[in-house]
């Protein structure tokens, strides 16, 4: 899927009908991915585009400064080039206003659809610890169960804390390790023991098993939502 450029409004020709065509083609692909329960990176993209459009509407100076300068005239006597802003043309500004006013509700619709899908999937995820958890749970393993293929995907995770604007955030980083075919011997408890035996790096790891209850795309939806669910559980 082709991404929508961050500067899609001011790139190429500034024509409301043309930009509407570009936008609807992009959102049509986003919609198809949402129908297939593929959330990322599309949900994050439409949220960011929506945020940028609101900022442009509220701050006309930002919009004006985003335009390139055009040569107005060449002063050969003083060896000087005079420039003018494209945004100085009333017709262009009217086109931009029409594009922005049309685009904001379009993005709002897909932002809401994506968030509803996110909440739907998140509510279906069952996250439980495997065995006794250590006091330090900021690193360990995450087991993602796959109902259809009867597999357990194993990820090592590390949670870091960073501060921004006087607020603290948690970020989770994961690394895929292996997959196990689900069986009477390959239970989450036995997989945990196998990891402890063969990976000295984490002798007493925190381990969480995630059961989605439904079949969902792994990379585009399951993994990112499972990561957030594990972080939320650890915070509690």
**207 close to 192: Cβ distance less than 8 angstroms:** yes
Higher per-residue pLDDT: 27 or 72: 27
* CB neighbour class for 179 (10 Å; exposed up to 12, middle 13-18, buried from 19): middle
What is the average pLDDT value for the chain, to the nearest integer? 87
- Look at residue 44 in the predicted model and tell me its pLDDT: 94
Q: Residues 15-44: what's their mean pLDDT? A: 95
- Look at residue 51 in the predicted model and tell me its pLDDT: 92
Whether the predicted pLDDT of 16 surpasses 80: yes
Task: Enter the DSSP assignment of 204.
Answer: S
- Look at residue 46 in the predicted model and tell me its pLDDT: 97
Higher per-residue pLDDT: 165 or 54: 54
pLDDT tens figures, 31-46: 999 999 999 999 999 9
Angstrom distance (rounded) from CA 226 to CA 177: 16
Task: Return contacts of 16-23, CB within 8 angstroms, 24+ apart.
Answer: 16/95, 16/98, 16/99, 16/102, 19/99, 19/103, 20/99, 20/102, 23/102, 23/103, 23/106
Tokens encoding 126: 């069952």
H-run or E-run covering 196? helix 188-198
pLDDT tens figures, 118-159: 999 999 999 999 999 999 999 999 999 998 899 999 999 999
Q: Residues 7-14: what's their mean pLDDT? A: 85
pLDDT tens figures, 156-190: 999 997 666 566 678 899 999 999 999 999 999 99
Tokens encoding 132: 């006794």
Q: Confidence class of residue 68 from pLDDT cuts 50, 70 and 90? A: low
Beta-carbon neighbour count of residue 159 at 10 Å?
A: 18
- Those residues with Cβ within 8 angstroms of residue 59's Cβ, 6 or more apart along the chain or in another chain: none
Q: Residues 53-79: what's their mean pLDDT? A: 65
């Amino acid at each position: 899927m082709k991404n929508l450029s961050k500067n899609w409004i001011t790139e190429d020709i500034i024509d409301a009908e043309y930009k509407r065509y570009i936008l609807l083609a992009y959102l049509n692909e986003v919609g198809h991915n949402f129908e297939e329960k593929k959330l990322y990176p599309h949900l994050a993209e439409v949220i960011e585009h929506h945020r940028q459009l609101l900022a442009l509407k509220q701050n006309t100076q930002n919009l004006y400064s985003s335009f390139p300068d055009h040569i107005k005239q060449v002063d050969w006597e003083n060896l000087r080039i005079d420039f003018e802003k494209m945004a100085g043309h009333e017709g262009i500004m009217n086109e931009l206003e029409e594009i922005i006013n049309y685009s904001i509700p379009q993005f709002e619709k897909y932002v809401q659809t994506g968030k509803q899908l996110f909440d739907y999937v998140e509510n279906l995820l069952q996250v439980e610890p495997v065995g006794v958890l250590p006091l330090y749970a900021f690193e360990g393993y995450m087991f993602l169960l796959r109902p259809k293929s009867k597999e357990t995907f194993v990820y090592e995770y590390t949670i870091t804390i960073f501060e921004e604007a006087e607020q603290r955030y948690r970020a989770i980083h994961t690394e895929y390790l292996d997959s196990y075919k689900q069986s009477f011997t390959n239970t989450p408890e036995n997989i945990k023991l196998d990891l402890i035996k063969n990976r000295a790096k984490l002798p007493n790891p925190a381990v969480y098993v995630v059961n989605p209850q439904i079949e969902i795309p792994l990379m585009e939806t399951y993994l990112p939502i499972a990561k957030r669910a594990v972080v939320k559980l650890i915070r509690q």
